[in-house]
Chains A and B, each alone.
Chain A
Amino acid sequence: MRLELGKIYIKDVQFGPQTKVENGVLYINKEELLKEVGGDERLKSIDVELAHPGEEVRIIPVKDVIEPRVKVEGPGGIFPGFISKVDTVGSGRTHVLKGTAVVTTGKIVGFQEGIIDMSGEGAKYTPFSKTHNIVMICEPVDNLPQHEHEEAVRMVGLKAAAYLGKAGKDVTPDEIKVYETLPLLQQVAQYPNLPKVIYVYMLQSQGLLHDTYVYGVDAKKIIPTFIYPTEVFDGAIISGNCVSACDKNPTYVHMNNPIIEDLYERHGKDINFLGCVITNENVYLADKERSSNYTAKLVEFLGADAVIISEEGFGNPDADLVMNCYKIEEKGIKTVLVTDEYAGRDGSSQSLADSTPKADAVVTAGNANEIIVLPPMKKVIGHPEAADVIAGGFAGSLRPDGSIEAEIQVITGATSEVGFGYLSAKTY
Chain B
Amino acid sequence: MEKTIIVTNNILTMQKLKSKHKIDFVEGTLLDVLIKVRDYIHKNHKLLTHPLMGSIKPNQTPFKSVAISLKAQDNIDVESLMYIEKSIETAESLIKSKPPRKWPENVLEDFRVIDFDLIYNALNR
Residues of chain A whose beta carbon lies under 8 Å from any beta carbon of chain B:
109-111, 146-147, 204, 206-210, 220-221, 241, 243-244, 247-248, 282-288, 313-316, 318-319, 342, 344-345, 349-350, 353-355, 369, 389, 392-395, 407
Q: What is the CA–CA distance of A109 and B109 in the complex, to the nearest angstrom?
A: 9
Is there an interface contact between B50 and A342, defined as CB atoms closer than 8 Å? no
Is there an interface contact between B55 and A210, defined as CB atoms closer than 8 Å? yes
Is there an interface contact between A206 and B121, defined as CB atoms closer than 8 Å? yes
Across-interface contacts of B90 in A (CB, < 8 A):
315, 342, 350, 353
Stretch of B21-29, B37-45, B91-99 at the chain-chain interface? B91-99
Is there an interface contact between A207 and B48, defined as CB atoms closer than 8 Å? no
Given A111-B103, A147-B117, A369-B97, answer yes or no on A394-B60 (Cβ-Cβ < 8 Å). yes
Is there an interface contact between A349 and B55, defined as CB atoms closer than 8 Å? no
Across-interface contacts of A287 in B (CB, < 8 A):
122, 125
User: Which 9 A-B pairs have CB atoms at the shortest separation, nearest pair first?
Assistant: A315-B52, A110-B107, A208-B117, A283-B122, A244-B55, A109-B110, A207-B121, A207-B118, A316-B50
- Number of interchain pairs (Cβ within 8 Å): 138
Across-interface contacts of B58 in A (CB, < 8 A):
315
Q: Which residue of A lies closest to B108 (CB)?
A: A110
Say whether B72 faces chain A, with CB atoms less than 8 Å apart: no
Q: What is the CA–CA distance of A303 and B55 in the complex, to the nearest angstrom?
A: 33
Residue-wise, chain B 100-113 has the 8 Å CB interface mask toward A (1 for contact) of 11011011011101
Residues of chain B whose beta carbon lies under 8 Å from any beta carbon of chain A:
47-50, 52-60, 67, 83, 86-87, 89-90, 93-94, 96-98, 100-101, 103-104, 106-107, 109-111, 113-114, 117-123, 125
Q: What is the CA–CA distance of A407 and B98 in the complex, to the nearest angstrom?
A: 10
A415, chain B: closest CB distance, angstroms: 12
Q: What is the CA–CA distance of A394 and B122 in the complex, to the nearest angstrom?
A: 27
A324, chain B: closest CB distance, angstroms: 15
Is there an interface contact between B83 and A319, defined as CB atoms closer than 8 Å? yes
Given A243-B56, A286-B48, A395-B98, 16 more pairs with CB closer than 8 A: A109-B114, A110-B107, A110-B109, A146-B113, A220-B121, A285-B50, A314-B52, A342-B57, A342-B94, A344-B97, A353-B52, A369-B98, A394-B59, A394-B101, A395-B60, A407-B98
B73, chain A: closest CB distance, angstroms: 14
Across-interface contacts of B87 in A (CB, < 8 A):
315, 353
Across-interface contacts of A220 in B (CB, < 8 A):
121, 125
Given A146-B110, A282-B125, answer yes or no on A316-B120 (Cβ-Cβ < 8 Å). no
Across-interface contacts of A345 in B (CB, < 8 A):
97-98
Across-interface contacts of A243 in B (CB, < 8 A):
54-56, 114
Across-interface contacts of A369 in B (CB, < 8 A):
94, 97-98
Is there an interface contact between B57 and A316, defined as CB atoms closer than 8 Å? no
* Most chain B CB inside 10 Å of its own CB: which residue of A284, A342, A393: A284
Is there an interface contact between A344 and B93, defined as CB atoms closer than 8 Å? yes
Is there an interface contact between B57 and A208, defined as CB atoms closer than 8 Å? no
Q: Which residue of A lies closest to B98 (CB)?
A: A394
Given A146-B113, A284-B122, A342-B94, answer yes or no on A206-B59 (Cβ-Cβ < 8 Å). no
Is there an interface contact between A283 and B118, defined as CB atoms closer than 8 Å? yes
